[in-house]
Homo-oligomer: A and B are copies of this chain.
Amino acid sequence: MEYKISDRLKNVQGSAIREIFDLLKKGDIISFAGGMPSTPTLPSKQIDEILQSLVSKHGVIECLQYESTQGKAALMEQLKKFLLEYKGINAETQEMIVLSGGQQGIEFMCKTFVNKGDVVLVENPTYLSTLQIIETYEGKAVGVDSNNEGLDLADLEKKITEHKAKFLYVVPTFCNPTGGTYSPENRQKIVEITAKHGVMILEDDPYSEIRFEGAAVPSVKCFDKTGNVVYLASFSKIIAPSLRIAVAVANPAVIGRFIIAKQSTDVCCASISQLVAAEFIKNGLSEHLKNIIPIYKEKRDKMIECIEKYFPKSFVYQVPQGGMFVWGYFNDNRDLLAIFKEVVDLGVAFLPGVHFYPAGGNKNTMRLNFSNATLEQIEKGIGILGGHLLQY
């Protein structure tokens, strides 16, 4: 049988992150490659407790029968409170849909708005899976320059006009991969410029609760006056990835399309996951965040300390105020993609930055995840990586 793969998929490769993750899971490798939360910080005790009484408390229909595509009422109620308290977003029920992870929101956004050949603007660099999703919808990702304050507004407006862009994808708080955070002024301007041109924004916000220092910044969605911002919050990093629970907030007309998209794929989110998330948000989340933030801060500090100690001085990076990643580049012409396999053979993995650029290149960049490794692994792994980098 000769498989005639569709145009949208025939040239798409698997996600570099997912393949590395499958590879590393069983191995004895210190990984700074993925974006996994720290395993010991995952709230297994609390979730175990929730599971003990889940069926007796919620009953057979709520736990086991088909569920509304939009999401469980019990979870939506908690999501409203969560969005208001943590994100400053006041969402009505008809403005929300529960998703099987934040990624599903990126997928639905492309499905709803991207025709073949359409341009999606992204920060340059951006989350690599978003680049892949855009590709599966035969769209084209175009990078917008950024600086310490956020997106370069002149470049944003130029590229909106030049490409008649359909939407702009941003991770404005503790960005994946750069760790950067856009200023409130930059956010407001981004919303104004896109709204003026009738361009949508997809704001992906999975990390903002993991803040170590500095004042919280309002969501891009908070500046939305015309309904052009679709907002995504996820519980993969702040409760547990395995629940596959996230939420999108948008104008009801957009949510209606997302509901149709969800009817066509997984019909509804797994009920046990929805109920666990609802109970955890209600009773455990604020305490849990208080516990995990210092742990992640300690890891961030350890990684910075080790970079200073072991890396060549030509490595340029910013200290992220939160999130899970340190991003940097060498101000010489190193090819970090070329050394990736050598480093894995030494027992350490990172992500070459090239994967995060819509146009590729930038081989001198790298992303280092600090959330999953232990302090000892960070010391050892950054030591090995630094030692190898110093040989060049």
Contacts and interface: CB of A to CB of B under 8 A. Distances in A.
Interface of A: 1-9, 12-15, 18, 21-22, 25, 34, 36-37, 39-40, 42-44, 47-48, 51-52, 54-56, 59-61, 63-69, 100-101, 103-104, 107, 111-116, 129, 132-133, 136, 166, 195, 198, 200, 226-228, 236, 240-244, 251, 253-254, 256-257, 259-261, 263-273, 276
Given A112-B9, A264-B132, A228 B1 contact: yes
A4 B113 contact: yes
B6 A114 contact: yes
Contact of A270 (B37, B111, B264, B270): B270
Contact of A52 (B9, B47, B52): B52
Contacts of A55: 44, 47-48, 51
A271 B101 CA distance: 13
A346 to B, nearest CB: 24
B267 A101 contact: yes
A94 to B, nearest CB: 13
B115 A6 contact: yes
A272 to B, nearest CB: 5
Interface centre among A60, A240, A242 (most CB of B within 10 A): A242
14 contacts: A1-B200, A4-B113, A5-B112, A9-B260, A15-B263, A25-B68, A36-B65, A40-B60, A44-B63, A44-B64, A51-B272, A66-B241, A244-B270, A270-B273
